[in-house]
Structure 1
Amino acid sequence: MTTHPTERSAPADHTPVTFHDHLLPGIGTGRYRITVDQQLPAGDLPGAAFDPVRQIVDVRAAQFRLDPSWVHAVHPAPHSQGPFADLLPHITLTPAALPWEREPFTGGTGVPARSPWLALLLFGEGELPGDPNALGTPAMVTVRELLAGDATVTGPSLDADAVDPALLDTSCHIVDVPRDLLAQLLPSPAELPFLAHVRAGGEDAPSSPDRDTAGPGDQDAHAVVTAARFPGTGRGRYVAHLVSLEGHRPPGQAEGGEPVRLVSLHRWTFTSCPASGDGFGRLAERFTPGNGEHSAAPLRPAPLPGAGLDDELAALLDQGMVPMSHVTETGERALAWYSGPFLPRVAPATPRPESGHFGDADGLLLHEPRTGTFATGYACAWNLGRALALADPGFSTTLVRLRHQGRLRRATDHQYQTYSQQIFLSGPLTSSSGVKKAGLAGTAEPMADVPGAPSRAATPREQFEELLRGDALGALADSLGTATDAPAAAGPVPVTLTTPVPRALKRSTTGPSPSPDAKEAAAWLAGLRVLGSVPFDYLVPDQRMLPPESLRLFHVDRAWLDALLDGARGLDRHPRADRATDAELDALLDAAGPVPAAGLLLRSALVPGWPALRIEALDGSGTAPVEVLRREALGADVLLVLFDRMPDRLTFGEPRQGLHFGVDDEGRVALRSLSPGEVGLSLGRSLSVTGDAALTRTTPTGARMLDVGALAARLAENVKPQSSSLTPAEFAVQLVRAPERLSLTFEGTTR
């Protein structure tokens, strides 16, 4: 249960991202006693009074550890380097109510209502005695040891009886902060509410019919906790700790000089360097033209400088072919050319055999006449598909069982057709009433099968075959015949002479529905068609084709994909006996969706630094999106994206939930409107922050701290004169820095 804030928060009706001040849980953590008392209206009746029923209920929430999956994103990215001096680090959490599930500090300290119990603290090198290099390596103690206290530090004052006994022997991370340093870095109780808010919606959020009325309790809502410290203007490593303030005293109220022990729920490190190129903008700008091997380009092997290759060899490299060592069936070693499914050009159509599928890899070994060598790409694809199919016992068993079932149906159809033809030529004739008729000369010989001859009765064997074919109702009707107790009509029984049609020709035009085995096999093949489980070396045979910090585009060779699937589905395959099964699989694959036609490979620090990196692909019109068939990280820094067609424009952007907070390059905040219907729109004015000593201060340790309370008041004077301050959501709107985007246009793309 949650309660939504009643005061107006900062969203605009048309903005994709909505800000809210907080998301309060319906009930706070702690131990509650529920008493149920019941009494009947007539209290003087016997048994009218009932003894009250009492139940003790413990409401618990995260306290000493966080589930790693709850951390949606952090900024700056872990282990990144970039010009972060003007940004306020922040962390985005998936449980939107998490920062308000507990109370900060100890009771009676004058903390404003709805203050978060979490704070994000930023430490530089040499500031933490236990982590002088800012590597993010906190110490670990058990919860029992934390609650017992240590004479050398000041820990949180928590009630051990209120802690879940199952957590006492679990470990938690701690960080011991010198008291004077903590007094400089820890926000005051009045500043805490401005450093946490709830963000809902965004273009990445799932659409819903009531998106205009979406609130912070939606599934796409996230809690954001921001630090109040800017990284230094020079180069330096920093570690950010998300700490718990529960059980501590506010800055200035604590006594003693010993360090303060804080519980660290999450931490990450980064390096602020003004000249670094590892920020999002600088990393993405490397893909623009003119940056050498970093620029976006087709995926092809680059010849070595000064190699002096002739035109024919250079042409093969330009087509995406890589020279490889090839071992023939006789054991001889020779030079061959390999090309994977990703080519810098549109692959020519490859002739297919009459059966539609290659039965072995030998038929896919192509001869390259210009160099007198072989092209082994398609043969390797066939062998790879066979190896992947054999390595999956579930698929191989399903496919073999499907083929055997198909052969059994084929044999049954053939046998049924043979019996039908024999019976059609030799069976007795009957009238439409089922009465046997003699020949024209009064003999017992059956009449010849000529047009107009009387129909015959189905033989027991034919009725049995009808049952095998599943037409049980029709077979039983033929067997039972008409009712014998029906009154006979007066006069002679009319005879209708018809020519019977063999039952083997009476086939349903709709056909049977696909079997479960066929659906399962087709689903596995559809996953293989988007290159699932294909080793990376088959996709990029030469690592020089994808250098660090590069973006490579490619066309997908449909013939390579067909060869891959032919090898996988070639298990226990007979070209003639399995035609029906192959046709069934082909129909299911055609209905499984489009086939990859193009794609991109991104090898960059953007992949680990921005896991939710936005990639938009548009066609030549600039409005129709290109469908993404597969998007998957193939390694620590490699991302594969497959499209249904070649895009003409690509846009890379930071995630919407990864909005930054801070000032611009000149240390100013761009003022935004807070009027209804215009929230977030620029007012065309700005406010100097880092250049104003009343808004930022430098601590004795050299930390650049933002005076949150003074800035909120100053912003209110400029954007909300009728109020003396802003709400947390309105404050976040003013400090937002829009996500960076990079658009690449490819003119004249070969489609």
Structure 2
Amino acid sequence: MTTHPTEQSAPADDTPVAFYDHLLPGIEAGRYRITVEQQLPAEQLPGARLDPVEQIVDVRAAQFRLDPAWVHAVYPAAHSQGPFNGLLPHITLNPTALPWERESFTAGVQNPGRAPWLALLLFGEGELPGDPNALGTTASVTIRALLDGDAAVSGPVLDRDAVDPTLLDTPCQVVDVPGELLAQLLPQPSDLAFLAHVRTGGEDAAPVEGQDSRPGQDAHAVITTARFPGAGRGRYVAHLVSLEGHTPPGPQADGKPVRLVSLHSWTFTSCPQSGDGFGRLAGRFTPGNGEHSAAPLCPAPAAGLTEELGTLMEQGMVPMTHITESGERALAWYSGPFLPRVAPELPRPADGHFPDADGLLLHEPHTGTFATGYACAWNVGRALALADPGFSTTLVRLRHQGRLRRATDRQYATYRRQLFLSAPSAGPAPRMAARAAALTPREQFEELLRGDALDALAPTLGIPEDDEPRPRTVRAAPAAYRLDAPKRSSAPPQASPDAREAAAWLAKLRTLSGVPFDCLVPDQRMLPPESLRLFHVDRGWLDALLDGARSLDRHPGADATTDAELDDLLDGQGPVPAAGLLLRSALVPGWPTLRVEARTASGTTPVEVIRREALGADVLLMLFEKMPDRLTISEPHQGLHFGVDDQGNVALRSLAPGEVGRPLGRSVPVGADPALTVTTPAGARVLDIGRLAARLAEDVKPGSPLSPAEFAVQLVRAPEQLTLTFEGTTR
């Protein structure tokens, strides 16, 4: 079945999300025997019955190793630290049908209720003998050794003939789990189906209500563990293990540990008092948190500065050492492309482009020093252009082609002018001038060679003279060049491939791609840890950057046409960045697909994002087409996690058609009910999945059991989000 939550339970971007019970493959992995029999109706005919034909077919799928690219996301994030004691860790996989491509408990046990062959197990410190510190340590054994078995452990019972022989000597990762611990952590076979489902929607087109469609390209298989992290501080390791070939967990008479194949693992630390959870990290950007609050990007003025110097720093100017051309050290002010204010328009030269950096050294009248920001931008652009041999070669070739066209046009004009001036006075001069203008230089030269002109040049060209003079032949001009012929098209020529390639490179540079971070943020105190900074983009700085890149082999007079062509192409390369934000926070590595939405004051019109890129381990840069009035920071889709609220309750949601996911305003106490949450002798809190599903069904679906998708809807905890506005913040 398919469950479609409404917007009340959708992710932070109000995109509908659909839950599916499972996505069953057309055929499961394994070995199959195909028998073909053929018999004609008339059995008495000779040869009417043919012998049966048998064929063994192996259907193979992932079994002992998992491609890392198949892991879409994990929650909590790997190596993260936060208050996770009320959440059920889970993993999302890109191959949507992967959890159902094999049978679970295939050692003589029938798969009940379409249970997945994969399970997510959570272990704390001191629980795994081979990994006492919960660091994700696993043992490596060959697949051959795994299939042969080990007398000291209870391993999977699998058909060796169904395994690809080329894989027998390749390694796989295993963990040895004490049998008693496994029996406490792993649900009953009939309850395993509730821990896996398919989720789709949000990133691409979502399913339409009422249509029986399979999950689309944005679908992910989700596997959840049944264990909560502890209430105290502790490190945990999550293992995605294979149940294929095992028997259901129970009391082990021999006391041997169970060897499980670990397909993927990650570690995290649960700390209720930690400030590294999403809500606490994002909450630091609200007003009143000092340097952590969302603020304009500018250096903090130091104490004791004069009013003029403080004003300059508030405008984004940073005092720095400036080395002049003579080698002297002096004080100068630097400003990058990111400013806390709208920069005034930079005056342009007559031809529209700065030929060098010296012309961009501006005098600062209050301090009597230079402002070097624009000059630095010009030099950076030139350095980046020189460092890219592809672009520099393309630009130089484009300029040479432009100069050749310009020289050819000038030569053509000279020919036309000389032909007009050399025309005889007799005859209609306007008509001859028009005819001369209609002929190409080659045709004009051929006209000169006709008649007496050819005889005069004969001795010089070495042509033998005839005894009798030749009659002068008058030829008519070709139809394409007659005075009454149609005129040539005046449509502008299409841009050359070199021009388009150069314009695309310059457009990418205009988004500050490749510009050193020190040029963007000259002082690290402007962007302290756990801070969010908004800024305006200085259009003059971008123009100076592009002028430096376009300065290679540039001659202002000869390259005016090429510059105009590049300007026209750049105008068609999309909007110019006008504003942006810099986020330096643990949110960047902890939530790689963090969702940041910029909108106008009304909150309905999104602001176009021109560039989004992580600069380093913990810095995120976003450039917008204009300054937004509202910013919404929310957890990504894998943040749609599962668990209980702060009071240990499951908030019930409607399953009625058209209202799926709507909160019902009542809840089921899970943490306080020992029948629903079992505490193991080791202190682990594990959900009794079967009893919890039956208890939830009594409230939201009386008389009918819950499906895996409906069970997932009840355990959903929507992603957290933070909305920032210029007037304040709202949660």
Normalised to the residue count of structure 1, the TM-score between the two structures is 0.87
Distance across 1 between alignment mates of 2:50 and 2:505 = 64
Q: Aligned equivalents of 1:362 and 1:34: distance in 2?
A: 82
The answer to whether the aligner puts 1:226 opposite 2:219 as a matched pair is no
**Letter aligned with residue 21 of structure 2:** D
**2:566 is aligned with 1:585:** yes
Equivalences for 1:252-651 in 2 at 5 Å?
252=250, 254-304=252-302, 307-427=303-423, 446-447=426-427, 449-450=429-430, 461-463=441-443, 480-481=478-479, 508-651=489-632
Amino acid at match of 1:108: G
User: C-alpha offsets along residues 673-724 of structure 1, whole Å, 9 cap, x if unaligned?
Assistant: 111111111112111111111101100111001000000001111111121x
Could you tell me which residue of structure 2 aligns to residue 487 of structure 1?
A: none
Do the aligned partners of residues 243 and 464 (structure 1) sit closer, same or farther apart at CA in structure 2, a change above 3 Å counting? farther
- The one-letter code of the counterpart of 1:589 is L
1:38-72 Cα offsets, whole Å, 9 max, x none, are 78889999999999876654321111111112111
Task: Provide closer, same or farther for how the CA distance between residues 659 and 414 of structure 1 changes in structure 2, counting only shifts above 3 A.
Answer: same
Counterpart of 1:9 in structure 2 is 2
Displacement after TM superposition at 1:446 (Å):
4.0
Question: Which residue matches 1:471?
Answer: none
Aligned to 1:69: 69
1:619-653 CA distance string (max 9 Å, x none)? 12221110000011111111111000000100011
Tell me whether 535-544 or 739-748 shows the greater mean CA deviation.
Answer: 739-748
Return the letter of the residue paired with 2:88: L
Secondary structure, in 3 states, of the residue corresponding to 1:408?
Answer: helix
Using the alignment, how far apart are the partners of 2:506 and 2:674 within structure 1? 65
CA deviation vs aligned residue, 1:369-408 (integer Å, no higher than 9, x gap) = 2112111111111111111111111111111111111111
Cα contact 2:636–2:719 (8 A) shared by 1 = yes
Q: Give the secondary-structure state (helix, strand or coil) at the position aligned to 1:24.
A: coil
Tell me the residue number matched to 1:439.
none
Is 1:29 aligned to 2:25, yes or no? Answer: no
One-letter code aligned to 1:530: T
* Larger CA deviation: 680-689 vs 159-168: 159-168
Structure 1 contact 122–238 (Cα < 8 Å) conserved? yes
Q: What is residue 440 of structure 1 aligned with on the other side?
A: none
* Whole-angstrom CA distance in 1 between matches of 2:432 and 2:442: 22
Which digits, 9 at most, give the CA deviation of each residue in 1:488-508, with x for residues without a partner?
Answer: xxxxxxxx9x8x99x9xx775
Residue in 1 that maps onto 2:173: 173
Other-structure match for 2:464 = none
Identity %: 74
One-letter code of the match for 1:672? R
Whole-angstrom distance in 1 between the partners of 2:533 and 2:630: 14
Return the alpha-carbon distance in structure 1 between the equivalents of residues 132 and 406 of structure 2: 76
Aligned-residue CA RMSD (Å): 2.8
User: What does residue 488 of structure 1 align with?
Assistant: none
Does the CA-based 8 Å contact 1:191-1:708 persist in structure 2? yes
Q: Could you tell me whether the CA contact under 8 Å between 2:6 and 2:661 is conserved in 1?
A: no
Aligned residue for 1:126, secondary structure, equals coil
Query: For the residues of structure 1 that align with 2:494 and 2:52, how far apart are their CA atoms?
Result: 63
Deviation at 1:109, TM superposition (A): 2.2
Equivalent residue letter for 1:631 = R
Q: Does 1:20 align with 2:1?
A: no
What corresponds to 1:717 in structure 2?
Answer: 698
Hey, what does 1:442 align to over in structure 2? none
Tell me which moved more, 552-561 or 310-319: 310-319
Measure the CA separation in 2 of the matches of 1:457 and 1:396: 38
Cα deviation, 1:557-598, whole Å, max 9, x if unaligned, reads 111111111111111111111111111111111000000000
SS class of match (1:92): strand
2:267 & 2:440 partners in 1: Cα distance? 83
Q: Structure 1 residues 459, 565: CA separation in 2 closer, same or farther (over 3 Å shift)?
A: closer
Change (3 A) 1:480 1:684: same
- The residue that corresponds to 2:668 in the other structure is 687
- 1:485 aligned partner: none
Offset at 1:536? 1.1
CA drift of 1:602 comes to 0.5
Could you tell which deviates more after superposition, 549-558 or 39-48?
Answer: 39-48
Indicate conservation of the 8 Å contact 2:207/2:215, yes or no: no
Q: For residue 257 of structure 2, what is the amino acid of its counterpart?
A: P
What are the within-5 Å matches in structure 2 for residues 123-272 of structure 1? 123-202=123-202, 205-207=203-205, 213=211, 215-252=213-250, 254-272=252-270
**Does the CA-based 8 Å contact 2:420-2:433 persist in structure 1?**
no
- Aligned partner (choices 730, 739, 751) of residue 719 of structure 2: 739
Question: Are the equivalent residues in 2 in contact too, given 1:648–1:747 (CA < 8 A)?
Answer: no
Range that drifts further, 592-601 or 216-225: 216-225
What is the DSSP-based 3-state SS (H/G/I as helix, E as strand, rest coil) of the residue aligned with 1:314? helix
Partner of 2:113: 113
Other structure's SS at 1:199 match: strand
Runs of 5+ consecutive residues of structure 1 not aligned to the other structure: 1-7, 429-444, 467-476, 483-495
Give the 3 Å change call, closer, same or farther, for CA 457–323 of structure 1 in structure 2.
closer
Which of 684, 697, 701 matches 2:678? 697
CA contact (8 A) 1:10 1:19 kept: yes
Deviation at 1:74, TM superposition (A): 1.1
Helix, strand or coil: the match of 2:2? coil
Structure-1 separation of matches of 2:700 and 2:36: 52
The answer to whether the 8 Å contact 1:399/1:517 transfers is: yes
Does the CA contact (< 8 Å) of 2:143 and 2:170 recur in 1? yes
Q: Tell me how far apart the structure 1 counterparts of residues 49 and 411 of structure 2 sit (CA, whole Å).
A: 83
SS at match of 2:598: strand
Q: In the TM superposition, what is the alpha-carbon distance from 1:197 to its structure 2 partner? A: 0.3
SS of equivalent residue, structure 2 residue 87: coil
Q: Which blocks of at least 5 consecutive residues in structure 2 are unaligned?
A: 11-15, 447-474
Superposition TM-score, scaled by structure 2 size: 0.89
Q: Is the 8 A contact 1:245 1:262 kept in 2?
A: yes
Q: Does 1:726 align with 2:726?
A: no
Amino acid at match of 1:703: A
Q: Which amino acid aligns with 2:374?
A: Y
- Cα distance in structure 2, aligned partners of 1:737 and 1:464: 83
CA-CA distance at 1:538 after TM superposition: 1.1
Secondary structure of residue in 1 paired with 2:247? coil
- Residue 313 of structure 1 deviates from its aligned partner by 1.6
Moved more, 339-348 or 249-258: 249-258
Cα drift, residue 215 of structure 1: 3.7
Whether the aligned pair in 2 keeps the contact of 1:152 and 1:258 (CA below 8 Å) is: yes
CA shift, 1:142, in A, is 2.2
Question: How many Å apart are 1:298 and its aligned residue?
Answer: 0.6
Question: Is the counterpart of residue 93 in structure 1 residue 93 in structure 2?
Answer: yes
What letter is aligned with 2:262? Answer: S
Residues 53, 640 of structure 1: alpha-carbon distance in 2 compared, 3 angstrom cutoff: farther
3-state secondary structure, aligned to 1:394: helix
For the Cα contact (< 8 Å) 2:648–2:672, is it kept in 1?
yes
Q: Is the 8 A contact 2:412 2:441 kept in 1?
A: no
Change (3 A) 1:334 1:58: same
